[in-house]
């Protein structure tokens, strides 16, 4: 069965600190996709990144970076020099590669609070 675990329920940091959000997943598929979404107070989930299981290269996009390690089934997300606008709930999600549904299995989410 597929499962995504985000063990950190809430994280609070002061602006300009770096912060890492952890994500651990379980799947029996050899082909799968991992996602991160951001949910601000407005409620709309915003796509951040998609990574397939064959691409273990880390990715950096501005202040955001992602570390994908198949050996530990983890897909962690780091925000460098956090800002107040980064405050939101962040979700890690998994999608089966063997099906064509595009259905996502979400983790419980991590609430990030960035204080000025």
SS3 84: helix
Closest-CA residue to 96 (of 36, 25, 47): 25
Which residue has tokens 């390690």?
A: 69
Which residue has tokens 């990144």?
A: 49
Q: How far is the CB of 97 from another protein (least distance, A)?
A: 7
What track of x and - describes contact with another protein for positions 17 through 36 (by CB under 8 A)?
A: ----------------x-x-
What track of x and - describes contact with another protein for positions 46 through 85 (by CB under 8 A)?
A: xx--x-x---------------------------------
Rounded to a whole number of angstroms, the CA Rg of the chain reads: 14
Residues that bind another protein (CB under 8 A): 4, 9, 33, 35, 37, 42-47, 50, 52, 91, 93, 95-97, 99-109
């Amino acid at each position: 069965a597929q499962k995504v675990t985000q063990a950190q329920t809430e994280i609070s940091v002061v602006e300009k600190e770096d912060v890492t959000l952890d994500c651990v997943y379980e799947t029996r598929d050899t082909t799968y996709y991992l996602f991160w979404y951001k949910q601000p107070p407005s409620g709309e989930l915003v796509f951040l990144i998609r990574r397939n299981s064959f691409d273990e290269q880390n990715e950096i996009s501005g202040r955001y970076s992602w570390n994908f390690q198949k050996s530990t089934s983890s897909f962690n997300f780091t925000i460098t020099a956090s800002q107040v606008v980064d405050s939101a709930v962040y979700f890690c999600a998994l999608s089966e590669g063997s099906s064509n549904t595009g259905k996502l299995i979400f983790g419980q989410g991590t609430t990030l609070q960035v204080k000025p």
